[in-house]
Amino acid sequence: MTAEQILDLAGAVVLALGCLFCLAAAVGLVRFPDVLTRMHGATKPQVFGLILVLTGVTLSLRDGRVFAFLSLAVLMQVLTAPVSGHLVSRTAHRNGDWDAEHAVVDDLARDIAAEVAISVPPPEPEPEDRG
């Protein structure tokens, strides 16, 4: 086998593995019971699957411009997926749209309680009637 054939084969294998991870993310969105587990299933395997797919495309095409463009796409995905997942989970927690019964740890409840205590000003004393 030539080097090009080996890179094509490696690209196809990595591309197929990436597709499997993306499929696992899609199945997780449908099958998981609550928002937090769906968010986990949507971000972790999807990002890894996308990285594998783009790596497979890069191995198959072997062009510097394609590598640069796909590296930018991977960078943006790695930067934005955790942030969006974090915001979705915080919103679900604040709205009560998550499965609190099965949670082992709930660190966010303590943080939210402290935030509410800080943001709510203490009541002002009523003026005394001197009449």
Does position 106 have pLDDT exceeding 80, yes or no? yes
**In which band, very low, low, confident or very high, does the pLDDT at 120 lie, cut at 50, 70 and 90?**
low
How far apart, in whole angstroms, are the C-alpha atoms of residue 131 and residue 125?
A: 18
Q: Do residues 60 and 122 lie in contact, with contact meaning Cβ atoms separated by under 8 Å?
A: no
Pick from 99, 85, 76: nearest CA to 40? 85
pLDDT at 128: 74
Mean pLDDT, residues 114-131 taken together:
71
H-assigned helices in the chain: 3-31, 35-61, 64-95, 107-119
Kindly state the tokens that stand for 104: 């082992």
Q: Tell me: the pLDDT tens digits for 40-78?
A: 888 889 999 999 999 999 999 999 999 999 999 999 999
